[in-house]
Chains A and B, each alone.
Chain A
Amino acid sequence: MPLIRVESLTKIYSSTKEGFAGIREVSFEVNEGEVVGVIGRSGCGKTTLLRCIAGFESSDSGKILLDGKSVSRPGPDRFMIFQGLDQLFPWLSLRGNLIFAMKTVNKDANMKELQRKAEYYLELVGLSEWGDCYPYQLSGGMKQRAFLARALSVNPRLLLLDEPFGSLDALGRKAMQDLLLRLWGKTGTTIILVTHDIDECIRLSDRILVFTKGTLKFNLINPLPRPRMSEDPAYMDFYGKISRILEKDANLKWANAVLR
């Protein structure tokens, strides 16, 4: 049985003659331990999909099954990392944020154990020395790592990442991608990763869902063995394939032509 199964999921905010805002009739499955990348142009419904799975949006129709059970409300079994850097509670220290998350999810946990686990997850993302700091004292990259530490600390079945490294520069991005792969190797958490960066998607994902205008166009297995090198001809082929799909999606074909 797949860990998560999405069946004919439809969520439409508004529609006009030209098209609609949201997602329509989306179906796919994610197996335990997989990293599934979701890629598509801005506005094609990637965030909407994640928010539906996380339970923040109620769908118009269709089903979302986690372990065969229908989900409708948010819960810590599907932990989402949102876009934006304001996700830590500013009145708690970094360690406090992790402990609060774990305590909320598991009310019976004893404090010693929570302290120990907080240290463990901070160590995992390289923030051991920053546990006493408050969010305003952390840089953007450190906050991103803190989000991952907190998300992993509540031990979710599924991690939902919405363009998690979008705000970082190229170097920071690369470092975070490597970190995410290390964490994934260590915890084996199932991940759905939304991105608009083809390289990021190929480097990280086992499977890639390509969205165009609110519909799932392709469900591609990533044929490349890890670690994936962009110099590899097979990499370039795969990149070209995704890139062509996305280009076809462009309304303004001439704009691309001019750019080229």
Chain B
Amino acid sequence: MALIFAMALLWESARIIGGYSELLLPSISVVAYSLLMEKAELLKNAAYSLKLIGFGLAVAVVLAMLLAILCMSSRALQGLFTDVMAVMHPLPGIAILPVAILWFGIGVNSVVFVIVFSAVWPLLNHFYTGFRSIPKNQVEVGKNLGLSGAKLAFYVMLPASLPHILGGLRTGWARAWQASVAAELVFGAAGGHGGLGWYLYKKRFMMETPGVFAGMLVIIAIGLVVEYFIFATLENLTVKKLKQVID
């Protein structure tokens, strides 16, 4: 809270001391007014972005889960994916956009592809690490109780690797969020379809600087809420009990 206040102070003083025009650096009150006025529009676009991310992330989670399970069951695949991951991991998701456009054309499919691509590698990495870190004894206790296959995975392997899975979701979400805004920004140039990135592009195009700032604030706010509210809560509910899993 103090941090937000300090930043607001810095913003305003920079504006006044630097004497920047409203077009380059609007005052907080103007941005706030624009936030208020454009509430419906912003919400609609935020919902649109989140819907795409939700879908993309879900696809990426399922894909990463399957790949992680495959890696667990085969030595050869394990080597292959370790190499592929080493190459893909440092590649920013948005860098795949040109390829996505070639394959899927301009539109929603490409954005979803970029989201899935950005999220799937960190997810796979975390899931795989998580599965490998499960103590053998716990899996065998599960088997001894008569569990096998999907039941063993659901009741034992999943909770046993939950800290790693949460870590993966956290990174995957951050990557997907960045990539989707970036992808939408690019598509703003190409006809547009919706989403916060597209909103930013549109406002910039029309020189509505307060709107650009309002859009950025919403992007920051969503990032903060997901990071510090959703994930922090999830981790408090589980890691609190699970801290011993990592040791």
Contact = CB atoms under 8 A, between A and B. Distances in A.
Interface of A: 54, 56, 74-76, 78-80, 82, 84, 86-87, 89-91, 100-101, 104-105, 134-136, 154
Interface in B124-183: 135, 137-138, 140-141, 143-147, 155-156, 159-160, 162
Nearest to A147: B141
Contact of B241 (A79, A134, A154): A134
A98 to B, nearest CB: 12
Contact of B245 (A75, A79, A90): A90
A30 B87 CA distance: 57
B146 A91 contact: no
Contacts of A135: 244
A6 to B, nearest CB: 19
A157 to B, nearest CB: 13
10 contacts: A74-B143, A86-B138, A91-B159, A91-B160, A91-B238, A104-B145, A104-B147, A134-B244, A135-B244, A136-B247
Contacts of B135: 84, 86
A76 B146 CA distance: 6
B144 A80 contact: yes
B145 A91 contact: no
Contacts of A90: 160, 241-242, 244-245
A89 B162 CA distance: 12
If over half of A's interface residues share one DSSP class (helix, strand or loop), that class is named, otherwise mixed; here it is loop
A136 B244 contact: yes
A82 B136 CA distance: 10
Contacts of B75: none
Given A74-B143, A82-B137, A89-B138, 6 more contacts: A76-B145, A82-B140, A87-B137, A91-B162, A91-B238, A100-B155
Contact of B145 (A82, A84, A154): A154
A90 B244 CA distance: 7
Contacts of A74: 140, 143-144, 146
B96 to A, nearest CB: 36
A100 B151 CA distance: 13
A253 B159 CA distance: 49
A89 B147 CA distance: 14
B144 A79 contact: yes
A101 B145 CA distance: 7
Contact of A89 (B140, B144, B156): B156
A43 B243 CA distance: 34
A91 B145 CA distance: 17
